[in-house]
Each structure stands twice: as C-alpha cells, then as structure tokens.
Amino acid sequence: MQNPVEAALQKAPDLAGLEPIEKIRRRWPLVLGSALTLLMIAALARELFGSGLAGLQQAIPTHPGFYIAFALFYLGPPTFDYIIFRRLWAIPLDGMAALHKKRIANEVVVGYSGEAYFYAWARQRTQMVAAPFGAVKDVTIQSAIAGNTFTLILILLTIPFMEMLPKDLVNFNTVAGSAALMVAMSLPFFLFSKRVFSLPRNSLWWVFAIHMVRLALGTFTLALAWHFAMPAVPVGTWLFLAAGRMLVSRIPLLPNKELVFASVAILLIGSGDSLTELMALMAALTLLAHVALIGVFSAQALAKKLDWI
C-alpha cells in the first residue's frame, strides 16, 4: 500500500516548471536596466559620431574657472539626487553611478527613461528599500513642481523687463497663459496629495527644497561658466541670461524658444552668435562627459562580473 505522504507528493504540481517564470519575475529589473544601458550607449554613439562634437570646433576657453564651473554644473543634478535618496534610503556611494545613468538616460534616450532605469536599479536591491516605486515617483513629481515654481518666480522677476523683448516673439498674454498652465499642472498634486504621494509631508517639503536649491545652484554655476568663458561680460548679466535660458526653455506656450533666447542674448551681451557657440561647446563637453562616465561604469561592471574587483 502506498504511503499517504508519497501519494500527496505525486499529486503535487511540478514546481520546477514554474521556476523559469519566477526567475523572470526576479530578473526583470536587471533586464530593464541592461536594456536601458544599451540604449544609452547607442544614443551616445549616435551623437558622438554625428554632430554632437561640433561645438569643439569653436574657440576653447582657457580660464580654469570655466572647467571648474562646468564640472559643478554637470555634477549638480546627480549629486542632489544622491543627497535626496541618501536620506530616504541610506543609498550607498555606488548609487551615484545609477544616478548618473538616470540623468544620462533622461537626456539622450527619452524623458523619464532615467527614472525607469533607477527604479529597476533599486528593485534589484530590496535589502536597501522594499518598495522603491513610491519614493521614485514622489521625487520625480517634486522635481517637476519645483521646476514650475522656480519658473514662476523667474516670470515674476522678469515681468518689468518684458517690454524690452520683441512683441512678435514674446508677449504678456503668452507668458501669463504659460504661467496659468504651470499652476494648473501643479495644482492637482496639492489638492490630492494624500492620494498621490507616498512619502511623509515633511519629507516631501524637504525634497522640494533640495530641488529648488539644485535649480538655483545650477543656474548660478552655468552663469559662472559663461562668465569665465567670456569675462568681458559681468557675471550679473550672465546670471540674468542663465535665468532667462531656463525660463524660455520651460515656458510651455512659447513658440520659437531658441529665437527668443537669442533675442535676450543680443539684448544683454550684444551678440547672440557668441553665446550660441559657447552653448554648443558646453553641449559637446557634456556629451564627452556622458561618454566617459558610461565607459567607466561599463568597465567597472565588466570587472565585477569577471571578479577582477
């Protein structure tokens, strides 16, 4: 007569057949992260072998302050993200690599692909955080709200100077409509904050404050880099122009953004071409920095896989 335990085991489903599905469930963050990394490499290669380095054909600044300011400007976003997630998750220092990849993906692949990469990275480290989606979502939303708030502040500061700009490019109705749209986009998050956000209220305000500091310092370091590249122009003028650049780029209803910014540049420094060349140079340097970091991170990952480090 067959043992009841043996009979029950024979009737039990074959769990080995479920193992591949379970492995897929566990490995999807790794697959997503790897896929986004490959997309980053492909996008960087396309820009690198395209016209991405055209800005290097311009005159290269010789003042060391330019490169220091540029480095601070470049390192700002991932560094402030690290400060945020260090407090929220006690993220280790090697998380800086993931945050740099997050920033690179957002810039060269598609918007918010960086958040997807960082979420996948966090999902692979459940010992660090059990449910990372809520925090990533909240930090991303707070970043957008901070950007809108910073832009609204800049709009208020630039209203007295709006009469100096060409009416066919920018007018009060366009700016006012854009401001109203930004308020309308941010308002639902305040009205339904308890349903939208996962983090405690004090953490949300802290994250918002860090994003505001990031935007302010980013504007300042950009102006400082421009000043060291063209020292004949006062740093105060560059600060105003850097703020104008951010303002023009974020106003949603403003057509011909590049033309508007060129008009502001001509108004302030007397030449739009010089600033265009300088921005092309900084774009090329940014691309080189992206490529260098992705190369370092890829080499580091390969070395770890081969147990070299």
Confidence of residue 132 (pLDDT cuts 50, 70, 90): confident
Q: What is the mean pLDDT of residues 259-264?
A: 76
| Whole-prediction pTM | 0.84
Which pLDDT score, from 0 to 100, does residue 77 have?
A: 96
pLDDT for residue 19 is more than 70: no
Assigned token pair, 30? 């790794």
Give, in order, the Cα–Cα distances in Å from 206 to each of 73, 87, 96, 136, 173: 22, 10, 20, 15, 34
Say which residues have a Cβ less than 8 Å from residue 21's Cβ, sequence separation at least 6.
Answer: none
Which pLDDT score, from 0 to 100, does residue 27 have?
A: 72
Which pLDDT score, from 0 to 100, does residue 21 have?
A: 41
Confidence of residue 259 (pLDDT cuts 50, 70, 90): confident
Q: How far apart are CA 32 and CA 24, in angstroms?
A: 11
Which pLDDT score, from 0 to 100, does residue 86 have?
A: 94
89-98, 132-141, 204-213, 277-286: which is most confident:
204-213
Which pLDDT score, from 0 to 100, does residue 245 have?
A: 86
Q: How far apart are CA 95 and CA 80, in angstroms?
A: 12
Which pLDDT score, from 0 to 100, does residue 126 have?
A: 62
Assigned token pair, 193? 């904050």
Q: What is the mean pLDDT of residues 195-222?
A: 96
Give the model confidence (pLDDT) of 150-192 as tens digits.
Answer: 999 988 887 777 776 666 666 778 788 888 989 999 999 989 9
Give the model confidence (pLDDT) of 43-89 as tens digits.
Answer: 888 887 777 677 777 678 999 999 999 999 999 999 999 999 999 99
Q: How far apart are CA 73 and CA 246, in angstroms?
A: 14
In this structure, the number of other CB atoms found within 10 A of the CB of residue 188 comes to: 11
For the ranges 218-222, 262-266, 279-283, the lowest mean pLDDT is seen at: 262-266
In 3D space, the residue among 256, 109, 71, 298 whose CA is nearest the CA of residue 168 turns out to be 256
Q: 234 — phi, psi (to 5°)?
A: -60, 150
pLDDT for residue 258 is more than 80: no
Which of residues 122 and 159 earns the better pLDDT score? 122
Q: How far apart are CA 98 and CA 152, in angstroms?
A: 31
